[in-house]
Structure 1
Amino acid sequence: MLRFFSNRPVFLLSLASSLSLISVAQVTPHKSPLLPLSESILMRIPADYRAEAQAKIKQTEEIQQQAEKMPDNELVATILHVLGDMPSESTFLLDRLEKEPSAALRIDVIRGLEKHWQGGQDISALEHHASSDPDVTVSIAAAEMLKEARIDSLNRLLNARLGSAVAAGDIHSAGLVLDEQKLLQQTRYGIGFPSFMRMPPPLFSVAPADKPIRVLAFGDFGTGSAAQKQTAAAMVAYHKTHPFDFGLTLGDNFYARGMNSPDDPRWQTQWEQLYSPMHIPFYAVLGNHDWSGADSPAAEVLYSAKSQSWHMPAPYYTFTAGSVQFFAFDTPAVDEAELKWLDEELGKSTAQWKIVYGHYHIYSATRGDNKELIARLLPILKKHNVDVYLNGHDHNLQELKPEGSVHFFVSGGGGAGLYEMNPYDRSVFRQKVNGFTVLEADSKTLAICFIGTDGSELYRRTLTK
């Protein structure tokens, strides 16, 4: 299913990681001890909510130190979200919603109870505030939450239909249901992306067929963090002694909800200043964070016309370089049309090597098996003897056991916070570090290398034909 983020404060994903949001983040919990909220945090929480927060919420010292740096309004909204994710706190928050004199706090409570509304609980309180709250901003917030709750209700109906299709082995029908669910999610989060912008261009070439190539690849980077800058600097340094012909991005190009427009100032600070010094073109794909902003998918496609280094002609497309044909695949919004396109383009390919790259994993020691892509994408990769499937999404570096001709690599160490990995029988190599991938190909060999931020080679796999 298409995984968008909600209207939650971005910091909530960290603060609540050891609470109810662990199922969303799908990351191994922090091993540091969980502590009661500090007095300095508690004193910034409104008095009517302080005792509940003190009794119910615990977090690591590191996360609490980050929370202390948040503005008061963001901290309070985050605390109410954490409480709202606890079923035992729903009654308390619903009672506060009716008594709360502050419009801003009523909005925070409405949003904090998101999980309660999503669960199909009584939404009469939302309907009341949407129609009758004395503050129009609260009415609008309630109406937005009603929209999300009703879309969630439709998704539950479709999930039942999806289950029957899967049980019957009807992959085509299951795919159609998933496509409809993704459209509902785009409606839910206001994603505006014209259908004509999804149309891929014809096959194009970026390097002569007889040229050996060296390619940079990385995902999960656009945070503006020190880790992103350090990893980017390592790429630039590596390029000086081992020149790249071009690069690939593997999605989650910009956090937390992509880019606002082709003129967003972060294009300079989080892209051009860090990666353009290599003077190579990059061929990008979208991640779930890129899909999370209403205008971000269109902004990332349209920015191609403004940059010498950034290229995204469509969310999915294919091109050749040397002995390789690359297939950029839009995994967060995959639908039947895109799968049909990939099947046809792979069938026409005469390249010595075929590499498909996208954001979501098929296999990973962080999140395990991706059942949707195993059912819908993997059969196409195996049918056409694809050599490599390369993805981001999990913030680490991994190789997984091959399946048929298909070798699986995760390269999500571009600068976002790193993820733990779990015991997993498909693991071949795994390391929780920032870093990037280098692909080297000629007519006989294809090498996949992981490089650390100090420029050292962490791992190498060489395929031959």
Structure 2
Amino acid sequence: MVLTMAVVQERTLALCLNLMLVFFIVSSIATTLADLQRFDHPAKDDGSLSFLVVGDWGRRGFYNQSIVAREMGKVGEKLDIDFVVSTGDNFYEDGLKGIGDPAFEESFTKIYTAKSLQKPWYSVLGNHDYRGDTEAQLSPHLRNFDSRWICRRSFIVNTEIAELFFVDTTPFVDDYYTDKDHSYDWRGVTPRSDYLHNLLKDLEIALKDSNGKWKFVVGHHAIRSAGHHGDTIELKKYLLPILRANNVDMYMNGHDHCLEHFSSLDSPIQFLTSGAGSKAWRGDIKNASQNEMKFFYDGQGFMSLQLTNSAELAQIVFYDVSGNVLHNWSFSKLPFSSF
């Protein structure tokens, strides 16, 4: 059969269009699937685990960031910590400008210099990080500058006795999409609805499949907070039901520049805010039920979490900028109770 030039051109055009369509679909899927990469970080030989939690810190040492870092080093040595959790807003005011941005070294490497802090830093993005080059902050190339840095949108850290589920919370917040004063780098999270749907689905599956005795979820934004920003409505609507349904023990966050502890009245979830790594002292507090709010401190500091070698007991401690203990809370895994 002899094909005319017109037919050949028509079929060639159709083939090109089909290939373009396939490429578009594959690209869309690739950019909207949640990235739940898994990192294995075994607990100590005796089965115990300890780590520090700090957020909202990256200010080149200013606003007492360096002093908080010094006290973190002391507590980290005392507890023999396994790693550090960062709850986001890692670099102010507008994230990193690129992989070679000196803010990475000036706000991280040169600040957290204590020997005990030379452990992996598992970090999520905050809303201020989204104002910069998010791809740069997520880039594995930053580990060439500082091998401690591990930052992903959403991921899992498996310690055998506990699993930590890190969740990218900034794309949940409606206000950032109508903010006329700042621009946000939404690459990798569009279309938004697809991204959030896949993230919640992947998180739910991972929580259901988890074999960890303890389940901790980490995000930047608060679900429960009496601080400046307060509760994040979108997280209460979409994320909280999944945490409740899957027996999550703790939700840890930053965003509000304070230290807080809330206990859920209808589930075993403890809500812990550690967003006081640098600038704090906002001077405002929202009303909260005394039955829920166990602790609130409007100042700089950080938090530690320890699991005993039997993995039945968890202890959280909040410290101020001078390393003084502000709040100490222990609770057992079985049965769910606090004392």
Q: Which TM class, normalised by the smaller chain length?
A: 0.7 to 0.9
CA apart distance, 1:383: 0.3
Q: Which of 130, 154, 162 is the equivalent residue of 1:291?
A: 130
Rounded to whole Å, the distance in 1 between the matches of 2:214 and 2:142 is: 27
Structure 1 residue 198, shift from structure 2 partner: 5.3
Match of 1:234 among 63, 66, 71: 71
The within-5 A match list for 1:260-409 is 260-277=97-114, 278-293=117-132, 295=133, 297-302=134-139, 303-306=141-144, 307-312=146-151, 314-334=152-172, 335-366=196-227, 367-402=229-264, 403-409=266-272
Tell me, in whole angstroms, the C-alpha distance in 1 between the residues paired with 2:217 and 2:157.
11
Matched, 1:462 2:299: no
| 1:215 corresponding residue in structure 2 | 51
Greater strand fraction, Structure 1 or Structure 2: 2
The correspondence for 1:452, drawn from 320, 324, 336, is 320
1:132-158 CA distance string (max 9 Å, x none) = xxxxxxxxxxxxxxxxxxxxxxxxxxx
What is the CA deviation profile of residues 267-308 of structure 1, one whole-angstrom value per residue up to 9, with x for unaligned ones? 111000112432111100000000112x1x111111443221
* 1:411 equivalent in alignment to 2:274: yes
Aligned equivalents of 1:399, 1:338: Cα separation in 2: 26
| Counterpart Cα distance in 1 of 2:160 and 2:322 | 29
User: Contact (CA 8 Å) 2:64, 2:321: kept in 1 or not?
Assistant: no
The CA RMSD over aligned residues, in Å, is 1.8
In structure 2, what is the Cα distance between the partners aligned to 1:365 and 1:230? 25
Q: Which amino acid in structure 2 is aligned with residue 353 of structure 1?
A: W
State how far apart, in whole Å, the 2-side matches of 1:309 and 1:422 are. 36
Provide the C-alpha distance between the structure 2 equivalents of 1:208 and 1:398, rounded to a whole number of angstroms: 26
Cα deviation per residue 1:197-230 (whole Å; 9 max; x = unaligned)? Answer: 95332x3311148620110111011112141111
Distance 2:98 2:68 in 1: 25
Distance in 2 of aligned mates of 1:322 and 1:452: 30
2:40 alignment partner, one of 192, 196, 205:
205
- State the alpha-carbon separation in 2 of the partners of residues 384 and 373 from structure 1: 16
**2:181 aligned partner:** none
TM-score by length of 1: 0.55
Does residue 49 of structure 2 align to residue 246 of structure 1? no
Identity of aligned residues (%): 30
Which residue identity lines up with residue 108 of structure 2 in the other structure?
W
Q: Deviations over 1:53-109 (max 9, x none)?
A: xxxxxxxxxxxxxxxxxxxxxxxxxxxxxxxxxxxxxxxxxxxxxxxxxxxxxxxxx
Query: What stretches of structure 2 of length at least 5 have no aligned partner?
Result: 1-29, 173-195, 334-339
Does the CA contact (< 8 Å) of 1:222 and 1:416 recur in 2? no
Q: Residue 110 of structure 2: SS of its match in structure 1?
A: helix
Q: Is the 8 A contact 1:276 1:309 kept in 2?
A: no
CA contact (8 A) 2:43 2:82 kept: no
SS at match of 2:171: coil
Residues 273 and 320 of structure 1: is their aligned pair in 2 closer, same or farther, counting only changes over 3 Å? same
Which amino acid letter does the alignment assign opposite residue 356 of structure 1?
V
Contact between 2:230 and 2:256, CA under 8 Å: does it hold in 1?
Answer: no
**Which structure has the highest helix share of the two?**
1
Alignment of 1:50-89 (within 5 A): none
**TM-aligned CA deviation for residue 446 of structure 1:** 1.1
Q: Is the 8 A contact 1:368 1:424 kept in 2?
A: no
Matches within 5 A, 1:413-428: 413-419=276-282, 420-425=284-289, 426-428=292-294
1:221-260 Cα deviation digits (max 9, x unpaired): 1112141111111111222323211000001111111001
Structure of larger gyration radius: 1
Q: Distance in 2 between matches of 1:252 and 1:292?
A: 10
* Contact kept? 2:54, 2:277, Cα under 8 Å: yes
C-alpha distance in structure 2 between counterparts of 1:428 and 1:406, whole Å: 13
Q: 1:276 to 1:301 in 2, by over 3 A?
A: farther
The answer on whether the counterparts of 2:42 and 2:159 sit within 8 Å (CA) in structure 1 is yes
Give, in whole Å, the separation in 1 of the partners of 2:234 and 2:32.
25
Q: 1:268 to 1:396 in 2, by over 3 A?
A: same
